[in-house]
Every structure is written in C-alpha cells, then in structure tokens.
C-alpha cells in the first residue's frame, strides 16, 4: 500500500485526486494539506510514502518548500503536480530534490504510474515536459532570460505575471513589500525587461502562465 499525502490549496483538486485513488487497491490518502506550513506540520506527525505537491500554494511553497522538505525528509519522494507547463519549472523542481514533475492535465493512469514509479525510487515527468527537457539538453546555450532567476525570483515572477500586486505577493509569501520590490527589481534587471507589463507579455509569449481552464 502506497501511503499518500496530498498538498494543494484547492479542496476540489484534493477531492478529485482522492476519487481517483479510491479506485485503486494499492494507494491510500493518509493526510491532506492546504499550504506549506500545514505540509511541514503533518510531516512531523507522520511521513507518507509519497508526497503529491502543488507548486503554488499560500505562504511557503514551490522550490523553497521542496528544498526544506528534502532537508528534513531526504528519503521522501516528492511528486510535483503543477499547472505550469514550461520546462524551466520542472528543471528547478527536480534540482531542488523532487522525484517527478507532472502537469495537472495529466491522464489519471499516467498519474498512478508516476506515483508507483517514484515510490519505488524512480523519477517521472510528463511526456511534454520530457520532450522540452530533451530539446534543452540538445541546445544548452539557448538559455532564456527567466532561466537566470533564482527559485524565489521565479516564484515572485510567476505571481507578478499572473496579476498580483507587490503587497499581495508579500502577503502570500510572508515577505515584506520592500523585499518583494527588491526581487522585482532584480527580476527586471536579469531579464532586461522594463515593467510589470513586460513581464506579463514575456510570460504569455513563453507559455509561463496557467492556460485557461487549468486548476491553479
């Protein structure tokens, strides 16, 4: 029996996943979390066999949360289930210690197969992500500007590009507005973009935003 922890801030997503897992005999949901702090609190009480983790939740989330979990629970396989389809997010997640990266439009049989694979110590990525990673490997010098961002900068970039203001980003990430403003300035400088509108256009052009109809 593979014991699962689900971490996603949307109840409807967790409920949908539980319905899928209820149809198979070798998986059981033992814990649910709606944000990064809850994930860490639950892990202190029990360690599941696989953590199914959303990349974007209130408070601590994304790459920084993966790194923190890996530091405390190095043997726990983390399978990211994300709305972001750009391969750079997958690269950052796997470098941080995730065992796999799937997008939320994945078929249920692919999800179940990926969970079984990472539970056995393997790795798993969505086919579309795997194709992009292979393409990047063949062209190592073709680094896009957003690939220069740190994990925190990439997280702030995502939120700004999705329309959140400085204060909203600060509240969501438990940071000061001054710190978020500094991150924003660094992002604009590294990407050679002049404004938030430019970040939005860049994100749309490179497919860095969730597509319409995707769950957040």
Q: What is the mean pLDDT of residues 32-41?
A: 93
Give me the half-sphere count of Cα atoms (radius 13 Å) on the Cβ side of residue 78: 28
Residue 8: is its pLDDT beyond 80? yes
pLDDT of residue 213: 39
Q: Rounded mean pLDDT of 100-107?
A: 89
Identify which of 123, 115, 110 has the alpha carbon closest to the alpha carbon of residue 26. Answer: 115
- Rounded Cα gap, residues 147 and 139, in angstroms: 14
What is the structure's pLDDT at 136? 59
Instruction: For residue range 158-176, list pLDDT tens digits in order.
Output: 889 888 899 988 888 888 9
Lowest mean pLDDT among 110-119, 134-143, 192-201: 134-143
Residue 143's pLDDT is: 67
Task: State CA 142 to chain mean position distance.
Answer: 23
Quote the CA–CA distance of 145 and 147 in Å, as a whole number.
5
Q: What is the mean pLDDT of residues 14-29?
A: 95
What is the model's pTM?
0.69
**Does 93 score more than 90 pLDDT?**
no
Domains observed in the chain: 2-137 (3.40.50.2300), 145-205 (1.10.10.10)
- Looking up tokens 């490179």 gives 206
Does 214 score more than 60 pLDDT?
Answer: no
pLDDT tens figures, 115-141: 999 999 998 987 767 766 666 555 554
Choice between 131 and 98, residue whose per-residue pLDDT is larger: 98
Ranges 5-19, 35-49, 118-132, 156-170: which has the least confidence: 118-132
Beta sheet of 100-103, edge-to-edge order: 27-33, 2-7, 50-53, 78-82, 100-103, 124-125
Give the span between the Cα atoms of 58 and 164, in whole angstroms: 13
Evaluate whether 27 touches 49 at the Cβ level (below 8 Å).
Answer: no
Separation of CA 46 from chain center: 22
- For residue 92, the model assigns a pLDDT of 79
| Tokens describing residue 104 | 């939320």
Least confident of 59-63, 139-143, 148-152, 190-194: 139-143
Q: Per mean pLDDT, which of 26-30, 122-126, 164-168, 212-216 is the most reliable?
A: 26-30
Give the burial class of 71: count Cβ atoms within 10 A of its Cβ; 0-12 exposed, 13-18 middle, 19 or more buried.
Answer: exposed
State the DSSP code for 210: P
In this structure, are strands 27-33 and 124-125 parallel, antiparallel, or unpaired? unpaired
pLDDT recorded at residue 134: 63
């Amino acid at each position: 029996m593979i014991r699962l922890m689900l971490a996603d801030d949307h109840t409807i997503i967790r409920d949908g996943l539980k319905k899928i897992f209820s149809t198979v005999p070798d998986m059981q949901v033992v814990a649910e979390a709606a944000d990064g702090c809850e994930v860490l609190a639950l892990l202190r009480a029990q360690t599941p066999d696989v953590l199914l983790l959303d990349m974007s939740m209130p408070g601590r989330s994304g790459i920084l949360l993966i790194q923190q979990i890996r530091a405390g629970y190095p043997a726990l396989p983390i399978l990211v289930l994300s709305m972001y389809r750009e391969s750079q997010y997958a690269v950052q997640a796997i470098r941080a210690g995730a065992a796999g990266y799937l997008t939320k439009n994945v078929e249920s049989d692919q999800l179940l197969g990926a969970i079984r694979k990472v539970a056995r110590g393997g790795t798993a990525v969505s086919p579309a992500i795997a194709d992009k990673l292979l393409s990047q490997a063949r062209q190592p010098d073709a680094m896009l500007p957003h690939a220069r961002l740190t994990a925190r900068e990439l997280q702030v970039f995502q939120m700004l590009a999705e329309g959140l203001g400085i204060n909203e980003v600060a509240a969501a990430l438990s940071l000061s507005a001054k710190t978020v403003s500094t991150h924003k300035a660094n992002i604009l400088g590294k990407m050679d973009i002049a404004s938030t509108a430019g970040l939005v256009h860049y994100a749309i052009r490179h497919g860095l935003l969730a597509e319409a109809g995707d769950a957040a």
